[in-house]
Structure formats: structure tokens, C-alpha cells
């Protein structure tokens, strides 16, 4: 079964395995299993020849290696023997981890060197490639061709992050203080709130993470190379410096390479450079040192896709030294910035710490002056300081953001972290990657010029002067479409569902799709005109022609290519189905139309045909017209740009395309908010200082010919200018900028794994227009959290005012420690959550984004909060005064104060729904059923506390009579009435000031 065919060299053996032929499964099993043996350095199994090449420790015999191979082959047919084989292998974790590089490869401008120089540098050749020994030596010296995995958040990391905010830390301190002062129940309840908060955040984020990770693509695991004069397939990680790679359509380039042979080779580099069109490659050396990545026509880079043709290339950089590896290093160096809400909540937490310390000291000092006991005042002051901390704040913020994530998921928007939801609402500038994000990253015919008629192609419809036409009613157009199908390299196969499966370049496929849209049966047409000969494009000839045989034994010639070259060999043109001479005026009109279409950043092809039997096929041609192609803008993106502008968000397009292409697309999208569209090329960008870049960043609408590092510079410059930045992208080249932006948005279907792994948000269906939904939701969430914070601070401040006033007046303590905690739980969390679920305000997307420096509670809010708290406190103290007059300083009096304050705070939820609009206005606020349920439910819990003996005992409250109930009800409703009436007064003042202000009339010139 196993035949040793080369065993003369110690430590190197080649074995013939009959069962390996045409068995990729056995190939993978052999390579994987043998590579795990610590005595084996290299394995390459070839399913075409059935040979296995093994490099191993010279102390091991060839017979032992043959025995191992035979036992592995047996496991392929009898899997139950696998455990026996494993027991005989001295295993290591992986072959990759056993190689420790001892040197770094030299880095040179390979694109400027001749192919012979490059080959000599690596001791390789086009014919024989590397020797197996040298390949192994290079792998040992420079390491394997692998990239480090992009760091993803672990489950533990996600859980720990839920405890990192300052409000949560403050609650932890409060729980610790409560334990020290004997309030074990308080501490348990507080930590229960902290645990609930963490559980909500962890569950939501881990669920999103799982969905995003499920979108991962499986990478290419093997690569064809030439070694020892033989074409073999090796694991991609075993591609060594100097290996000769065989480039074929549909394969990904395994390393950064210098092309040494190219036969009509074109490569899609959009994932790396952002260039939307496949790049035609050459083996010729280039001149000049400062050549942009996208202009290095003799280089092919790791991770790019071969779309057509074939070629050979020598690996000049592997692993982390490739351009993709450098991008991963940029990703690692880029740091994500905190979102505005995270900063604001931490700021509120800091202020609460200072407030708690101040209250604790003030109450303790006043109590001691009043003659209260030391232990009593220590307990009371600490309890009050704990009460100053709104236990519901972290839970409300976390739950609101979690609900936002759930809501967005319904629109196929996958949000990785809670803070990213809110950050979208504060975005001031959104950087849009063009290829694959704004556009579909595929070529499509958008315009045709046939017989001087300009035809637009929109959504598979042919439009002339605003009216649809049928291609079959226009002979000139139909002939042009037929020629575009015949003079075409794409393979077309019908599928089971009636559609076509296309294999070819983006340009060739676009012409086939054009014919399908016109109703042409592509397969039948090609069968009718059987292909006889193909004349391909060459370096100095931008024309392709195909010769076909017709049923009447005529030769039909179909030609397409550079319009200027095609028209030179035409003597006729088609006019309304008739062949007429091509005049000088016609040639001039064609040149003008070509320039007009090229000025719109279209890729323009000229088409012609002939019917003859002569030897000179590309002569005496009949001109058919022009076809203009572009990477089409995604449906809805133009309207989305307008929505962003209405919402006050600046839009910036970043692309690897040339400036004319970028300018044309930006102009069509109306990307600029001002009259002049500002564009900056990377050649100019590289000359700018960081300071100049920061100054210019928010004035530029389009950045063209941009590299991955440039994208990162642009995002960071906008952030230095004080902007909250969102970045969209789908390619490897977008990853560093996606990570650095406050909000990174990646594509879920068409995007790369690297982009998805660093992004905050993933659009599962690649529909960019759902971004405006996310922005609206983010703004609403922030506004609602702001309402909740306002409510929490005003109610907690009322508790402080009641306690400090009573102690200062010497009328006892209206509330005990457990009652203060109950207040913060019953009247804070559920009502606060209901405020966070208010419906979006109608004008949410017609207002500019807030400044990141604007605090969640502005200075203008502090007076209103203090006023509302004072009214609630006075009303509660009045009820407490009534109870003292009737019952003295007793549990009954405390019960009246406790119930009065609880009821007033619950009704204050209704008042906190709007800063301006009163509930008594004719203009009603939109209904909020969650708020109604929260208020009614909280009152029900309060009634249970009065009726259940165990709860009464815990809270130390007593039953009340009817008169007490009336007093409590009055104390609750009076603050609501007063606070709502002050809203009317403020609104009237604003209206009066608005009518008295002079109006400025702007005259447009």
C-alpha cells in the first residue's frame, strides 16, 4: 500500500500512496496527523500524483515514517484505528506553534526590481520553484505564513466590563458601608441590583457576539505552488518566502508576491485597497519609489482574489509582514474611544460621590449638635448618603440600551456592545467607505450609446428620455447586446431555478447581466454562434475579438475594447438596422460621447462586428456603440445621505478609487452640504502635518486613493477636531479605522471577518439605509435616559431634603434606613425604566446631534431639579408635621411621611415625561403604556407593604386611617399640580420671547 520512492537522503523521504490519488480528504488527514508529530518538520501530500513528501528528524528511519503513513491511511478506511495511531505519535499542539522564527525577512521595493533580481534574491526559479529543503529552511528561519487572530472579547471579559462603570462601583461601596453599619438587608438588595444590571448587559452583549461570530467565512486552507519542479498543493500556512505561487481564477493570493508571469491576469484588490475595479496585472518592473499600493501593477497581495487569467508570482512577504499583516498591527495599535454616554454617566457618578460625602458629613454634624447619639447619627448619615446614590441608574441605563439592541436586531442591525447604541445617537460625522458599502462592489452597465441615442439602464430597465423601451424593438441596441454576449470570456451555465451561474470577471459578467435584463437567452445565442477563435487583449492592444461560425458557414466577428482603438478599425456604423458609412463627423460624435461617459467615472467599452470570410477578421468593422459600466450605488444610499444631512450629520466618503471616479459618485450622491464639493487625494494627504490634517478634516467631503493607514489618520483627525465619528466599511483595509471610531459599522454578508471582528455594529443584510434607524434609536435612547436621570436625581434629592430638614428642625427622622432603600427600589427602577421606553419624539431626526461635551444634566436643569425636589419635600414635611401634631414623633408619623414621599415620587414620573409639555395641555404626549403599568404596579406594591405583616415589620410602618390617607393623597398630588403649572409658565415665557425677538430674513443670491 505504501511505497518508498525516494529515501537516499537522511531526514527526507517521498512515498507513493495509491489511495491518496484523487482523495483530498486523505490529503488533509495525512498532513494534519503527521504534522502533529514532534519529529516531523514538514509534510506535503499531493492527491494528483499520490505522493507524500516528508521532512523529519534524521534520527528517525524511513521505515518508521512509512509505518506511520500506512497506519494513518488505515484510519481513513477504518476510523476506529485512529486512537491507536495517536498513541504512537509523539504529538505537539500544532506544527505552526513548533516553528519559532529566527530572523525577519528583508523588506524591499520589490515592484521596482526586475523579475530575475527578485528570483535570485530568494534562490528560486520560475520553472523549478524552491527546493523542499530550502522551503523548510525558510519556514524555520522566517516563520509560518499565518496571521495572529484578531482579539475578540471573551465571555469573562464581557462579564467584567459590566462592573466597570462608576455608578456600579459606587453601589458596591454603598453595599460595603451598609454591611459595616449593620445594614445586611440593604447590602443584599443593593448587590442584587448590581447583579441584575450585570446579567442584563452580559446576556445582551454575548448574544450579539455569538450572532456576529456566526457570520465568519472559512478561509482558503491550501495553495498551489511549484516546488522541486512539481506543481503541488500545500497548506496556506506552509507557503514560504521564495515559493512560486500558481495564480488561477477564483483563488485567493496566499502571500504578498511579485508577479513573474501574467497571462491576462486580473485581481480584485477591493478588500485591501478599496479599488472597485479588478486590476490588470503585469510582470514588468515599475519605476519610482513612492508608488501607491493600488498602482503596483506587478504585485499581488495576500487576501486578494484572482478574477481572470492566470500567472506565476514569487512570495516576497508572508504572515505578519504582508500588507494584511501590517493592517492587523494597525488594528492592534488603534484604540477605541469611550462613548459620550459612558463619559457622562461616569461624570454623574463622580458628582454623586462628592454629594454623598457632603451629605454624610452635614447630617452627622447636625445630629451631633442636636444631641443625638453617636451610633444613631453614624448609621443615619451613612444611610442617607447611600440613599443619595440612585440604585436604579445603572440598571435603567443598561436595560434601555439592551432593549435598543433587541429593537435594532429586528432590522438586521447587530450591535456588539451596549454603549454603541447610544454612541450612534451622538454621531456628528459618518465616514463612508465607498466600495462594498456605498456601492455594491460589482460592475453593472448603467448607460449605452447606440446610434447616437443615449440609453440609461436602471433596475434592469432601458430608458430613453424618461420612457422605457423594449430592446427587441430597437435593432441597433439588440445587435450591441448580442455582440457583448459573444465577445465575452464569462462561462454561463443555467441553474435548476431557471437563473444563470456566471464565472468570470466583473466586467464580463456585467455584460451578460445586461443581456439577461434585455430578455436574451444567452445559452441559445452562444449555441447559435459557435466560438471558433478568440483573440485576447495584450499589453499594447486593448481590444478583444471572437470569431464565430454561423449556420450559413459565414464568419461572424464580435469586437469590444477601448473605444478609440475599436473605432479606428471601423468603416461602417449601424443606423436603424441599416449599415451606413462611418463619417468623420460620426467619429467626432463618438469621441465626444466617450469623453462624456468617462467624465462620469464610467468604464467605457466600444463594440463592433463584421460578417466576412477573409483572413483579416479585425477589419472592415461596423460600429455599434458604447457601453458604460460602473460599480452601482446601493439602492437607498442617496436618500440616506439626505437623511443624514437633515439630521445634522456630516458625511465623508473614503475610497481607494482615483479622484475622478470618487468625485463623480460623490456628486451623484450630493455628498457635500455646501455648494462646493471638496476632495483630497492621498498624495496631498501624505504631505500634511497632523495639525493641518485636523484643521482640514471636517472641511473635506471626499478622500480619494486612500490607504488603510490613511483611513485611520482621517478618523483620528476628525476625533481630534472634537467630532464623534462613525466609520463604515467591509474590507480588511477598513479594520483599523473601524476600531478607532466611536462607532465602527461593518457589513455582515459581503464584509470580511477582520472588519466584523473589530466593528461595534454589523449590518447583517448589508443594507446601509438601516443606519438612519440606528441613529434615530440612539438619539431616542439618550433622550429617554436623560429623562430617567432627571427623575432619579429629583426624587433622590427630595429624600435628602426631607431628612436633612427634619434633623435640622429637631423633629426626628421621618424615614429609617430600610425605608430609604425601599424608596429607591420601588419608586426608582420601574418608573425610571418606563421613562426610558418613551416613544421617539417627532423631531428626533430634524435636530443636529448633541455635542459630546454637553453633560447629561445641564446647568439649566439643576435649578429645575432642585425646585421640583423642594416642592415634593415641602409637601412631605407638611404631611409629616400633621402626623407629629396628631401622633407625636412615632412610627405612625414616619408611616405618613414615608407613604407621602413614595406617592409623590411615583406621580412625579408622569411629570418627568417632558421638560416643556404639561399633561394638562391640549397637545397630548404620545401614550406610554409602560409608564402607566409601572406607576399602577408600584402603587400596588406599596399597598401590599401596608397589608402584609412581614413587609410592615421589615419597613417598620403601621396601619393608617381614612384621614391619614387623604393627607397622604393631598401631599402626593399637590407637587404634581405645582410642577406641571410651572411648565406652562416656562413654555409661555419661551413663546413670548420668540415672538418679540427680531426676525432675520436671509436673501439667497
φ/ψ (deg, to 5) at 73: -60, -40
264 backbone φψ class: left, alpha, beta (φ>0; ψ -120 to 50) = left
**Pairing verdict, β 299-300 and 461-464:** unpaired
Cβ count near 956 (within 10 Å): 15
Maximum distance among all Cα pairs of the chain, rounded to whole angstroms: 121
**Buried/exposed code over 872-904 (b: 16+ C-beta within 10 A; e: otherwise):** bbbbbbbbbbbbbeebebeebbbbbbbbbbbbb
Query: Is 552 part of the annotated catalytic residue set?
Result: no
Per the structure block, which three cell numbers stand in for 597? 461617459
**In terms of Cα–Cα distance, which of 674, 676, 641, 678 is closest to 662?**
678
**Pairing verdict, β 51-56 and 570-575:** unpaired
Give the Cα-Cα-Cα angle 24, 30, 36 (nearest 5 degrees).
135
**Buried/exposed code over 330-352 (b: 16+ C-beta within 10 A; e: otherwise):** bbeebebbebbbbbbbbebbeeb
- How far, CA to CA in Å, does 985 sit from each of 472, 519, 860, 921, 979? 72, 69, 16, 12, 10
CB 651 within 8 A of CB 768: no
Distance CA 405, CA 414 (A): 7
Give the Cα-Cα-Cα angle 182, 188, 192 (nearest 5 degrees).
160
> What is the torsion angle, in degrees rounded to the nearest 10, for the CA atoms of residue 471, residue 473, residue 477 and residue 481?
50
Strand partners, 623: 573, 608
**In terms of Cα–Cα distance, which of 670, 667, 559, 699 is closest to 623?**
559
Distance CA 791, CA 400 (A): 15
Can you give the C-alpha Rg of the chain in angstroms?
37
Which residues, at least 6 apart from 121, have a Cβ–Cβ distance to it below 8 Å? 106, 108, 113
Question: What is the distance in angstroms between the CA of the first residue and the CA of the last residue of the chain?
Answer: 90
CB 189 within 8 A of CB 179: no
Distance CA 143, CA 239 (A): 10
- How far, CA to CA in Å, does 866 sit from each of 201, 383, 796, 863, 979? 32, 21, 11, 5, 12
Cβ count near 249 (within 10 Å): 17
The DSSP line for 751-780 is S-HHHHHH-SEEETT--GGGHHHHHHHHHH
**Pairing verdict, β 725-729 and 743-747:** parallel
Distance CA 415, CA 207 (A): 10
Tell me the residue ranges of DSSP E strands in 655-771: 679-681, 702-704, 725-729, 743-747, 761-763
Mutual orientation of helices 374-388 and 184-213 as an angle, nearest 10°? 20
Distance CA 133, CA 146 (A): 20
Catalytic residue among 186, 256, 268, 433: 433
Which residues, at least 6 apart from 101, have a Cβ–Cβ distance to it below 8 Å? 141, 142, 143
E strand or H helix at 628: strand 621-630
Cβ count near 553 (within 10 Å): 7
The residues annotated as belonging to the active site are: 433
Amino acid at each position: 500500500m505504501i511505497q518508498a520512492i525516494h529515501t537516499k537522503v537522511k531526514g527526507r523521504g517521498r512515498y507513493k500512496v495509491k489511495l491518496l490519488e484523487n482523495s483530498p480528504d486523505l490529503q488533509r488527514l495525512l498532513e494534519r496527523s503527521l504534522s502533529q508529530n514532534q519529529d516531523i518538520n514538514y509534510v506535503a501530500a499531493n492527491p494528483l500524483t499520490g505522493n507524500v513528501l516528508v521532512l523529519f528528524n534524521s534520527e528517525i528511519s524511513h521505515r518508521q515514517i512509512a509505518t506511520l503513513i500506512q497506519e494513518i491511511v488505515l484510519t481513513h478506511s477504518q476510523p476506529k484505528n485512529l486512537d491507536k495511531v495517536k498513541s504512537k505519535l509523539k504529538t505537539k499542539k500544532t506544527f505552526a506553534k513548533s516553528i519559532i522564527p529566527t530572523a525577519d525577512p528583508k523588506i524591499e521595493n520589490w515592484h521596482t526590481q526586475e523579475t530575475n533580481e527578485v528570483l535570485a534574491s530568494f534562490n528560486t526559479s520560475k520553472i523549478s520553484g524552491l527546493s523542499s529543503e530550502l522551503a523548510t529552511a525558510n519556514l524555520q528561519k522566517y516563520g509560518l505564513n499565518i496571521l495572529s487572530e484578531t482579539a475578540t472579547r471573551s465571555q469573562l471579559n464581557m462579564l467584567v466590563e459590566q462592573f466597570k462603570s462608576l455608578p456600579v462601583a459606587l453601589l458596591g461601596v454603598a453595599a460595603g458601608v451598609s454591611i459595616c453599619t449593620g445594614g445586611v438587608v440593604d447590602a443584599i438588595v443593593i448587590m442584587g441590583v448590581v447583579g441584575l444590571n450585570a446579567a442584563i448587559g452580559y446576556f445582551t452583549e454575548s448574544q450579539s457576539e455569538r450572532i456576529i461570530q456566526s457570520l465568519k467565512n472559512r478561509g482558503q486552507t491550501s495553495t498551489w505552488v511549484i516546488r522541486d519542479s512539481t506543481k503541488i498543493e500545500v497548506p496556506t500556512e506552509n507557503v514560504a518566502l521564495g515559493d512560486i505561487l500558481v495564480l488561477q481564477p477564483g483563488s485567493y493570493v496566499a502571500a504578498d508576491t511579485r508577479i513573474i508571469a501574467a497571462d491576462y491576469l486580473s485581481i480584485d484588490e477591493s478588500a485591501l485597497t478599496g479599488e472597485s475595479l479588478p486590476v490588470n496585472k503585469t510582470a514588468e518592473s515599475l519605476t519610482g519609489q513612492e508608488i501607491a499600493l493600488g498602482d503596483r501593477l506587478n504585485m499581488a497581495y495576500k487576501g486578494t482574489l484572482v478574477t481572470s487569467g492566470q500567472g506565476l508570482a514569487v512570495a516576497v512577504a508572508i504572515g505578519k509582514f504582508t500588507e494584511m499583516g501590517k493592517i492587523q498591527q494597525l488594528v492592534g495599535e488603534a484604540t477605541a474611544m469611550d462613548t459620550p454616554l459612558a463619559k457622562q454617566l461616569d461624570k454623574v457618578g463622580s458628582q454623586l460621590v462628592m454629594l454623598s460625602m457632603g451629605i454624610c458629613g452635614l447630617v452627622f454634624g447636625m445630629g451631633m449638635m442636636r444631641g443625638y447619639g453617636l451610633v444613631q447619627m453614624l448609621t443615619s448619615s451613612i444611610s442617607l448618603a447611600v440613599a443619595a446614590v440612585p440604585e436604579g441608574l445603572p440598571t435603567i441605563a443598561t436595560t434601555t440600551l439592551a432593549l435598543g439592541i433587541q429593537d435594532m436586531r429586528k432590522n438586521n442591525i447587530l450591535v456588539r456592545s451596549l454603549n454603541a447604541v447610544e454612541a450612534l445617537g451622538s454621531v456628528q460625522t459618518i465616514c463612508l467607505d465607498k466600495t462594498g458599502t456605498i456601492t455594491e462592489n460589482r460592475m453593472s452597465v448603467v448607460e449605452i450609446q447606440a446610434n447616437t441615442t443615449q440609453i440609461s439602464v436602471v433596475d434592469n430597465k432601458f430608458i430613453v428620455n424618461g420612457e422605457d423601451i423594449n430592446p427587441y424593438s430597437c435593432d441597433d441596441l439588440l445587435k450591441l447586446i448580442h455582440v457583448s454576449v459573444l465577445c465575452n470570456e464569462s462561462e454561463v451555465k443555467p441553474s435548476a431555478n431557471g437563473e444563470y451561474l456566471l464565472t468570470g470577471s466583473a466586467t464580463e459578467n456585467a455584460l451578460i447581466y445586461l443581456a439577461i435584463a434585455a430578455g436574451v437567452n444567452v445559452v441559445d445565442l452562444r449555441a447559435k454562434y459557435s466560438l471558433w477563435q478568440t483573440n485576447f487583449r495584450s499589453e499594447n492592444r486593448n481590444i478583444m475579438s471572437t470569431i464565430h461560425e454561423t449556420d450559413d458557414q459565414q464568419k461572424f466577428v464580435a469586437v469590444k475594447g477601448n473605444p478609440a482603438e475599436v473605432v479606428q478599425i471601423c468603416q461602417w456604423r449601424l443606423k436603424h438596422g441599416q449599415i451606413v458609412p462611418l463619417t468623420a463627423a460620426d467619429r467626432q460624435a463618438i469621441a465626444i460621447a466617450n469623453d462624456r461617459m468617462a467624465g462620469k467615472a464610467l468604464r467605457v467599452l466600444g463594440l463592433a462586428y463584421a460578417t466576412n470570410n477573409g483572413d483579416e477578421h479585425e477589419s472592415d468593422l461596423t460600429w455599434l456603440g458604447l457601453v458604460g459600466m460602473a460599480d452601482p450605488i446601493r439602492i437607498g444610499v442617496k436618500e440616506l445621505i439626505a437623511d443624514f444631512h437633515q439630521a445634522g450629520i456630516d458625511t465623508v466618503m473614503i475610497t481607494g478609487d482615483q479622484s475622478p471616479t470618487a468625485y463623480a459618485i460623490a456628486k451623484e450622491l450630493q455628498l457635500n452640504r455646501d455648494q462646493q464639493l471638496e476632495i483630497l487625494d492621498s498624495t496631498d494627504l501624505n504631505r500634511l502635518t497632523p495639525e493641518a490634517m485636523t484643521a482640514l478634516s471636517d472641511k473635506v467631503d471626499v478622500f480619494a486613493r486612500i490607504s488603510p493607514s490613511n483611513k485611520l489618520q482621517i478618523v483620528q483627525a476628525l476625533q481630534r477636531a472634537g467630532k464623534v465619528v462613525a466609520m463604515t466599511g467591509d474590507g480588511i483595509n477598513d479594520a483599523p479605522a473601524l476600531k478607532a471610531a466611536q462607532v465602527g459599522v461593518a457589513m455582515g454578508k459581503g464584509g470580511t471577518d477582520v472588519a466584523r471582528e473589530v466593528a461595534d455594529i454589523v449590518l447583517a443584510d448589508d443594507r446601509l439605509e438601516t443606519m438612519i434607524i440606528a441613529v434615530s434609536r440612539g438619539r431616542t435612547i439618550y433622550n429617554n435616559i436623560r429623562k430617567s436621570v432627571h427623575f432619579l436625581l429629583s426624587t433622590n434629592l427630595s429624600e435628602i431634603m426631607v431628612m436633612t430638614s427634619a434633623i435640622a428642625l429637631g423633629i426626628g427622622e421621618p424615614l429609617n434606613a430600610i425605608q430609604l432603600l425601599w424608596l429607591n427600589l420601588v419608586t426608582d427602577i420601574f418608573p425610571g425604566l418606563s421613562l426610558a421606553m418613551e416613544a421617539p419624539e417627532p423631531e428626533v431626526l430634524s435636530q443636529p446631534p448633541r455635542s459630546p461635551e454637553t453633560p447629561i444634566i445641564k446647568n439649566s436643569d439643576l435649578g429645575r431639579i432642585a425646585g421640583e425636589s423642594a416642592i415634593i419635600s415641602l409637601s412631605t414635611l407638611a404631611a409629616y408635621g400633621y402626623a407629629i401634631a396628631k401622633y407625636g414623633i412615632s412610627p405612625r408619623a414616619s408611616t405618613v411621611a414615608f407613604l407621602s414621599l413614595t406617592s409623590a415620587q411615583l406621580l412625579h414620573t408622569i411629570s418627568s415625561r417632558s421638560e416643556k409639555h404639561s399633561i394638562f395641555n391640549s397637545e397630548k404626549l404620545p401614550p406610554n403604556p409602560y409608564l402607566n403599568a409601572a406607576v399602577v404596579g408600584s402603587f400596588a406594591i406599596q399597598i401590599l407593604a401596608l397589608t402584609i405583616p412581614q413587609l410592615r415589620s421589615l419597613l417598620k410602618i403601621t396601619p393608617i386611617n381614612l384621614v391619614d390617607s387623604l393627607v397622604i393623597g393631598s401631599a402626593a398630588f399637590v407637587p404634581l399640580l405645582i410642577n406641571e403649572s410651572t411648565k406652562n409658565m416656562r413654555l409661555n415665557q419661551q413663546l413670548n420671547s420668540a415672538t418679540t425677538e427680531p426676525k432675520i430674513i436671509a436673501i439667497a443670491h
